[in-house]
Amino acid sequence: MTDKRITIRAARFDPEKDKVPHMQSYDIPFSDESMVVLDALNYIKAHVDGSLSYRWSCRMGICGSCGMMVNGTPKLTCAAFLRDYWPRPVTVAPLTNFPVVRDLVVDMEDFMHKLKSVKPWIIRKQEMPLGAGEHRQTMDEIDDFRQFSQCINCMLCYAACPVYGLDNEFLGPAAIALARRYNLDSRDQGTKIRLPVLAQSDGVWECSFVGECSVVCPKGVDPAKAIQQTKLDTTLRFVLPYGNRE
Partner 1 sequence: MDFESYDVLVVGGGLAGIRAAIAVVEANPRLKIGMVSKVYPMRSHTVSAEGGAAAVLRPEDSYETHAFDTIKGSDYLADQDVVEAFVREAPIELIQMEHWGCPWSRDPDGKISARPFGGMTTWRTCFAADKTGFHMLHTVFQTSLKYPQIHRHDEAFVTKLLVENGRCEGVVAVDMRSGRFEAITAKSVILATGGLGRVYAFTTNGNICTGDGMALAYRAGVGLKDMEMVQFHPTGLPFTGILITEAVRGEGGYLTNKDGERFLKRYVPNKMELGPRDIISRAMVTEFEEGRGFEGPHGKFMHLDVRHLGEAVIDRKLPFMRELGREFVGIDIVKDPIPVRPVQHYMMGGVDADISGVTPVPGLYAAGECANVGLNGGNRLGSNSLSECLVFGAAAGRAAAEYASSAKPVGSNPVEAMLKDETARIEAGYLDKKGGEERIGTIREDMQRDMDAGAGVFRTRESLEKLTKQLGALRERFTNIKIEDSSRTFNTELTAALELDFMLEVADTITYSALAREESRGAHARRDFPERDDAKFLKHTIAFRTEEIAPRLEYRDVRITNFKPQARSY
What residue ranges bind partner 1 (CB under 8 A)?
Answer: 14-17, 32, 34, 45-47, 49-51, 53-65, 79, 101-103, 105, 108, 112, 115-116, 119-122, 127-128, 130, 133-139, 142, 145-146, 149-153, 178, 182, 185, 187-188
Q: Between 163 and 216, whose beta carbon lies closer to partner 1? A: 216
- Cβ closer to partner 1: 101 or 199? 101
Q: How far is the CB of 145 from partner 1 (least distance, A)?
A: 8
Residue 106 CB, shortest distance to partner 1, in Å, is 10
Q: How far is the CB of 68 from partner 1 (least distance, A)?
A: 14
- Neighbour count for residue 1 (Cβ, 10 Å): 7
Q: Mark out the alpha helices in 5-146 (DSSP H runs).
A: 37-43, 109-117, 139-145
CA dist 54 and 198 (Å) reads 32
The residues near 132 (Cβ < 8 Å, ≥ 6 apart) are none
Q: How far is residue 180's CA from residue 55's CA, in Å, rounded to a whole number?
A: 28
Q: What angle do CA 174, 21, 62 make, to 5 degrees?
A: 30
Distance separating alpha carbons of residues 115 and 92, to the nearest angstrom: 27
The residue among 55 and 237 lying less far from partner 1, judged by its C-beta, is: 55
Total residue count of the chain as it appears in this document: 246
Nearer to partner 1, 21 or 205 (CB): 21
**At closest approach, how far in Å is the CB of 171 from partner 1?**
15
Question: Which CB, 128 or 232, lies closer to partner 1?
Answer: 128
